């Protein structure tokens, strides 16, 4: 039995998730890593530094879902395209460029009054909003790096990955105060994107134009030197870039990941996707727990239970390819194009998992979790006999969690009512054997969440836990749960029946206890510790 897996086997799949989540071409992360590694070699970094540069490059976008929901709420449109254009191609210090971006993207489909109000508001708060988003993104990426056992230097590189040489980044670091690996990583992502838009000339022009501004002159010069060699470009532009990058991984103690912690890795993937929407936070973990309970109820062996639990953690990672704005719409308000995007998320999940040899065996299950016995499911339109058993379990667990938790313009319902609705779909939208397993699972009350007999809305614990992580109090856990829904500080004050000053005081104490610096980090802590039941 394997005791370790190649770290790149996991990080490569996570890098592809980042590409999708940013709306960039598949391979962006790999190509940026190639540039970063080439610059690191040119600058004669040590072997250990090169290893850390390699992992930082692949994980740069691991926090890119962190601010997606807030961006969608502010933009009221395709947040993926809008954020991409703002970050890579718009100078926030140039009023003309900002006005062009604002008028094109902010509330584009809304009435003129709504658009004007949003444009004015973003004009005032836009730069601060962008810096806050970058800070959240970098902190979350560093947190994922820690969860995936990357070195402290990788975590530091990611924490300051969006700092600018001129001091204009989220933390305000400038010049040599920025870690060298961060400076290289920042340059590499921009150089890759500009090459994708305008080829070699665009990348070279960018390095020259931004040298000494947001790019470290030393890093820019190293790239400009490399750009003179055809061999550098041939490898970079090759269709086999992933193979090339994999071969660049240096020998180091971090080359392997403990195979006994694959559930933790799968949970990290699921959490990454769940950050895409206020409504999905904690969804992957809850579905995985329900899948495990159902599999045990069916008497499946240990290996199959593990497989189905991991499928539950990973089933929705393809949703990263959709704008959060789409995920925040109720199904009946989706356009035909948006509905088609949603139908393809199991396909994107399959693509991501196919990148990882340890997770690729789960492809058949996760790709089929929206198939239906009547053949009207998606994305392949399988009939009942073609749906894998694991997918049948997953479909029922997913549907139950969806019904018992709040969705876009849809309140949560109690477990009793949810199961009653699902029973009406037996043999049509859901498989009868999976529903029987769900019923047994609910009756056994093996999970911490409410059972049908409790007649409570899922997500609200039936009793107060005595001990919370990090010494949190019951009240602080309540604050964290509300924070994780995306509520603003005034909304939190209203729901808690306290003043905004009291909310701020609570948050300061909570952040200190759980050692986080941002709202999204606190949300991720809430998800990681199962506080969003």
Considering 403, 427, 454, which residue would you say is the last residue of a domain? Answer: 454
Q: State the average pLDDT over residues 475-495.
A: 93
Q: Does the N-terminal peptide bond of residue 379 adopt cis geometry, omega within 30 degrees of 0?
A: yes
402 and 425 Cβ atoms separated by less than 8 Å: no
CATH of the domain at 524: 1.10.10.10
DSSP-based three-state secondary structure for 137: helix
Asked whether residue 402 is domain-assigned, the answer is yes
61 and 19 Cβ atoms separated by less than 8 Å: yes
Asked whether residue 533 is domain-assigned, the answer is no
**101-115, 201-215, 264-278, 311-325 — which is least confidently predicted?**
101-115
State pLDDT tens for residues 339-366: 999 999 999 999 999 999 999 999 999 9
Q: What is the pLDDT of residue 466?
A: 65
State pLDDT tens for residues 22-59: 999 999 999 999 999 999 999 999 999 999 999 999 99
Asked whether residue 187 is domain-assigned, the answer is yes
In the chain, count of helices (H) and strands (E)? 26, 2
State whether 219 and 272 are in the same domain: no
CB atoms within 10 A of CB 304: 15
Give the DSSP letter of residue 316.
T
What is the number of structural domains in the chain? 4
State whether 387 and 479 are in the same domain: no
Q: What is the pLDDT of residue 464?
A: 53
Q: What is the pLDDT of residue 453?
A: 32
Task: Please check the confidence at residue 463 and state whether its pLDDT lies above 70.
Answer: no
Task: Please check the confidence at residue 459 and state whether its pLDDT lies above 50.
Answer: no
287 and 397 Cβ atoms separated by less than 8 Å: yes
Give me the residue label for tokens 């194009």: 337
State whether 154 and 100 are in the same domain: no
CATH of the domain at 389: 1.10.3210.10
Considering 136, 155, 187, which residue would you say is the last residue of a domain? Answer: 136
State pLDDT tens for residues 218-240: 999 999 999 999 999 999 999 99
State whether 276 and 367 are in the same domain: yes
Asked whether residue 461 is domain-assigned, the answer is no
State pLDDT tens for residues 424-456: 999 999 999 999 999 999 998 544 444 333 333
Asked whether residue 459 is domain-assigned, the answer is no
Task: Please check the confidence at residue 333 and state whether its pLDDT lies above 80.
Answer: yes
Task: Please check the confidence at residue 1 and state whether its pLDDT lies above 60.
Answer: no
Q: Is 44 exposed, middle or buried (0-12, 13-18, 19+ CB in 10 A)?
A: exposed
92 and 130 Cβ atoms separated by less than 8 Å: yes
State whether 209 and 305 are in the same domain: no
State whether 305 and 369 are in the same domain: yes
State whether 335 and 422 are in the same domain: yes
Q: Which domain holds residue 116?
A: 68-136
Report the percent of the chain where pLDDT is more than 90.
86
Using CA atoms, how far apart are residues 422 and 416, in angstroms rounded to an integer?
A: 10
Token code pair at residue 443: 């009756």
Considering 136, 169, 192, which residue would you say is the last residue of a domain? Answer: 136
State whether 345 and 429 are in the same domain: yes
State whether 218 and 329 are in the same domain: no
Asked whether residue 360 is domain-assigned, the answer is yes
For Cα atoms 60, 61, 63, give the angle at the middle one, nearest 5 degrees.
105
DSSP calls for 432-464: HHHHHHHHHHHHHT-SSSPPGGG--BTTS-SS-
- Average pLDDT score over the chain: 93
Token code pair at residue 375: 């053949």
Of 20, 69, 193, give the one whose Cα is nearest residue 524. 69
Q: What is the pLDDT of residue 450?
A: 41
pTM confidence score: 0.92
State whether 438 and 497 are in the same domain: no
Using CA atoms, how far apart are residues 198 and 206, in angstroms rounded to an integer?
A: 10
Asked whether residue 419 is domain-assigned, the answer is yes
State whether 190 and 46 are in the same domain: yes
Give the DSSP letter of residue 60.
T
State whether 145 and 216 are in the same domain: yes
272 and 14 Cβ atoms separated by less than 8 Å: yes
State pLDDT tens for residues 254-299: 999 999 999 999 999 999 999 999 999 999 999 999 999 999 999 9
* C-alpha of 462 from chain center: 30
Q: What is the pLDDT of residue 486?
A: 87
Give the contacts of 61 (CB within 8 A, at least 6 positions apart). Answer: 15, 18, 19, 21, 22, 28, 29, 141
CA distance readout (Å), 188 to 44, 88, 221, 383 = 17, 12, 13, 46
Using CA atoms, how far apart are residues 441 and 427, in angstroms rounded to an integer?
A: 19
Task: Please check the confidence at residue 397 and state whether its pLDDT lies above 90.
Answer: yes
Give the DSSP letter of residue 371.
-
Asked whether residue 460 is domain-assigned, the answer is no
State pLDDT tens for residues 85-129: 999 999 877 888 988 999 999 998 899 999 999 999 888 888 888
């Amino acid at each position: 039995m394997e005791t370790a897996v190649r770290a790149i086997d996991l990080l490569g799949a996570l890098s592809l998730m980042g590409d999708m989540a940013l709306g960039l071409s598949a391979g962006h992360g790999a190509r940026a890593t190639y540039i970063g590694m080439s610059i690191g070699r040119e600058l004669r970094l040590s072997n250990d530094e090169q290893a850390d540069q390699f992992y930082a490059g692949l994980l740069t976008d691991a926090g890119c879902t962190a601010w997606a929901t807030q961006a969608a709420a502010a933009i009221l449109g395709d947040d993926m395209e809008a954020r991409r254009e703002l970050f890579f191609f718009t100078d926030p210090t140039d009023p003309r460029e900002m006005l062009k971006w604002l008028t094109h993207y902010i509330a584009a489909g809304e009435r003129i009054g709504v658009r004007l109000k949003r444009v004015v508001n973003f004009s005032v708060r836009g730069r601060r909003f962008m810096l806050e988003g970058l800070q959240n993104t970098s902190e979350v990426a560093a947190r994922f790096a820690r969860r995936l056992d990357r070195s402290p230097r990788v975590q530091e590189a990611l924490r300051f990955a969006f700092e600018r040489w001129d001091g204009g980044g989220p933390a305000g670091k400038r010049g040599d105060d920025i870690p060298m690996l961060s400076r290289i990583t920042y340059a590499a992502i921009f150089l890759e994107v500009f090459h994708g838009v305008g080829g070699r000339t665009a990348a070279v022009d960018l390095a020259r134009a931004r040298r000494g501004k947001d790019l470290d002159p030393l890093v820019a010069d190293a790239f400009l030197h490399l750009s003179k060699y055809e061999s550098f470009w041939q490898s970079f532009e090759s269709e086999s870039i992933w193979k090339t990058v994999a071969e660049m991984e240096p020998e180091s103690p971090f080359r392997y990941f403990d195979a006994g912690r694959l559930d933790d890795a799968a949970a990290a993937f699921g959490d990454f996707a769940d950050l895409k929407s206020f409504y999905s936070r904690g969804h992957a973990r809850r579905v995985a727990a329900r899948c495990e309970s159902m599999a045990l109820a069916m008497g499946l062996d240990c290996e199959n239970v593990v497989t189905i639990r991991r499928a539950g953690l990973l089933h929705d990672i393809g949703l990263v390819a959709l704008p959060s704005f789409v995920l925040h719409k109720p199904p009946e308000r989706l356009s035909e194009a948006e509905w088609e995007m949603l139908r393809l998320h199991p396909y994107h999940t399959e693509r991501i998992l196919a990148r990882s040899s340890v997770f690729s065996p789960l492809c058949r299950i996760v790709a089929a979790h929206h198939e239906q016995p009547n053949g009207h499911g998606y994305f392949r339109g399988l009939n009942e006999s073609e749906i894998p058993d694991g997918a049948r379990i997953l479909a029922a667990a997913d549907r139950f969690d969806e019904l018992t938790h709040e969705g876009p313009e849809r309140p949560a319902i109690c477990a009793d009512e949810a199961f009653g609705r699902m029973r009406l779909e037996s043999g049509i939208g859901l498989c009868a054997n999976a529903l029987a397993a769900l019923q047994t699972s609910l009756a056994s009350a093996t999970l911490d969440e409410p059972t049908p007999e409790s007649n409570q809305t899922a997500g609200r614990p039936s009793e107060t836990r005595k001990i919370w992580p990090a010494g949190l109090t019951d009240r602080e856990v309540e604050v964290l749960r509300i924070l994780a829904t995306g509520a603003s500080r005034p909304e939190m004050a209203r729901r808690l029946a306290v003043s905004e000053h009291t909310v701020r005081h609570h948050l300061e104490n909570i952040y200190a206890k759980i050692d986080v610096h941002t709202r999204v980090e606190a949300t991720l802590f809430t998800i990681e510790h199962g506080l969003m039941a």
